[in-house]
Structure 1
């Protein structure tokens, strides 16, 4: 992938170079149209304007012939087209500025169009993951964090699991082939969590060694 807008990144989508023992397993970004539909509710907005158009034509048809009444719905059709263009443009900007990354140690999310930030979610800090797949194969992979970690819903939206306001769950939104991405995450997380963590202690701090 090419990220000309972020040439200062040592690794595309990441704020710093990866350690020697870490490597990228997958990178991707949201689908613009899926993000417009799921996050910006494009279909609902177009449905709203469709109802307004039919209502206006129906009201006008009681006073003028139907072919003339149809022209009375034109302003609503034009408004719907403008609204669609705006929503798709905003979704495109968000999709272009987003890079999701899975490594063998963490989930990294470079998000934000105006204010860019990177979320680093080590696998050991993720309690559960949920996947929602659409018929097209696109979908959302969300993460429930452990401990007292709290994220702002407004700061991370739309890269969150919808309607989970009390405990924000960061999510990879509207990504293609979400089932495969979920498999990559599950395998990497299981390997990382099951890896023994060795902590070195001073002999003086060990009661047995101190005797």
Structure 2
């Protein structure tokens, strides 16, 4: 299921597709959404502003201390934005007629192959700005560890890692649902992404897909 490689005959794929298998969709995480949702740049910025404001409290270091704190904030946020952009540029998600392929890794690329028939559920989390996170829930225990998959894994599920497509377009949800139905023709119900506020979870209506946790 996991491959480390250097040469891609097709971007995002470690090899040519077998006869009869076609690419349905390819995309990468939106780096700005990734910075906000994974690297928590907004929360970090608010924390630094709060710390800078303490410089003006009695006994604080005043304007000089606030400026030093804000400079540190700029450097720290710059690093986080760089990591988000590098992570986005090194990641390609591919949906084929038979599987989901996740290629990621800045220093050491990895490739994860997950057959569509092995996906028992897919949970969608709306991030706003037309972007969503999609948790893929395999029917069998996923063989890779949480740290090996980060950040393309559901947060806090360290004991039972669940692969995750990060900051993908909302329009990809019905495409994935249709592909999963095609892998399991018994399921014919409609799957749609209901409008939700940012940060909320979306329930997918097809039993083949599952429901949001």
TM-score, normalising length from structure 1?
Answer: 0.81
CA deviation profile, 1:124-158 (whole Å, cap 9, x unmatched): 11110001112211120110111233321101100
**1:70 aligned residue:** 63
**Would you say 1:41 and 2:32 are equivalent positions?**
no
Q: 1-side partners of 2:83 and 2:51: how far apart?
A: 24
Runs of 5+ in structure 2 lacking a partner?
187-213
**Would you say 1:133 and 2:133 are equivalent positions?**
no
Instruction: Choose the corresponding residue for 2:178, options 169, 176, 187.
Output: 187
Which structure's CA Rg is the greater one? 1
Contact 2:142 2:162 in 1 (8 A): no
**1:21 aligned residue:** 20
- Which has more strand, going by share of residues? 2
Contact 1:60 1:72 in 2 (8 A): no
Note the C-alpha offset of 1:60. Answer: 5.3
Note the C-alpha offset of 1:10. Answer: 0.9
Q: 2-side partners of 1:31 and 1:57: how far apart?
A: 38
- Alignment length (residue pairs): 182
Note the C-alpha offset of 1:112. Answer: 0.7
TM-score, normalising length from structure 2?
Answer: 0.80
- Which has more helix, going by share of residues? 1
Match of 2:57, SS? helix
